[in-house]
Amino acid sequence: MTSVATSNGPVTSTPLIATSFYYSVQGQIRHGEFPLNSQLYVKTCYHHGADWIFCHGIEEGLSQLAIQKSSGGRELVWNFPLQSSWKSTNPHGWPRMIVSLYGPDELGNDDVAYGYGSTVLPICAGHYTRTLAIYRPQSQSLLHKWTSWFTGRRPELIDPKTIALNEGRDVLRMETLGYVTVEFHTTFKDFQSLGYDSSISGPEKVSSTLPIF
């Protein structure tokens, strides 16, 4: 409470109450494992609800083309920085990051779509690592599979943000081709003062619960 003294005596004014909270994420896309591909780059974007505003950071990112180690390692290392700051009044519509992978194929076609994946940004403050499964639409027939292999025009999604939605997923036939590891460090401002609590940090294992990919 702030009180202001005037010549008529002290007058109290109302306390400052937060009406929105701030959420900030730093991190990186560390590396990917794709046994069937050796060169890929990543595009990142975010999907969020109507109550969220992207304040600051890289909203759509594009990484370098990563190539496997010549001495035979399997990892494609991007080490691509992620930064985003958000302002919101409502946890519903929590931002999800969507990654899309592209790269040249063996026949020399550039920018072939290799897959998509997404993760929700962590709802607790702290340091989190996520493994994203990367999947792409399957070809509908054998003929389509061969022609897309020749021309380098594989089935791709018109809008990668589809994978962050609930509707329309049931018509997708996908195949998982690899995994991408992402790291996040998150902080909040005024989340708790609005009455929200997501305070148990870190994953709680009820049983041996993380899938072993």
Partner 1 sequence: MAELHLIGQIIGGTEFSEKSICCRWQLSSGENWRVLEGATEGQTQLDTPQIGSVSSWNHPLDVHWATRGLQGWPQIHLQIYHLDDYSRTNLIGYASASIPTRPGIHYIDAPAWRPLGTFTEELMRHFIGGGVELADAERIQNGADRSRLRTEATGRVYLEIGLVFRDFKKFGIEY
| Residue 18 touches partner 1, criterion: CB under 8 A | no
Whether the CB-CB separation of 32 and 134 falls below 8 Å is answered with yes
Distances (CA, A) of 14 to 5, 6, 17, 195: 14, 16, 9, 19
**Quick count: other Cβ atoms within 10 Å of Cβ 30?**
16
* Contacting partner 1 within 52-111 (CB under 8 A): 90-94, 96
Query: Which of 60, 142, 143, 204 is close enough to bind partner 1 by CB under 8 A?
Result: 204
Rounded to whole angstroms, the Cα distance separating 184 from 125 reads: 10
**Quick count: other Cβ atoms within 10 Å of Cβ 185?**
15
| Residue 169 touches partner 1, criterion: CB under 8 A | yes
Choose between 64 and 201: whose C-beta lies nearer to partner 1: 201
Give the total of residues touching partner 1 (CB under 8 A): 56
* Contacting partner 1 within 136-165 (CB under 8 A): 138, 163-165
Q: Which residues bind partner 1 (CB under 8 A)?
A: 35-36, 49, 90-94, 96, 117-120, 122-124, 128, 132-133, 135, 138, 163-167, 169-170, 172-179, 194-213
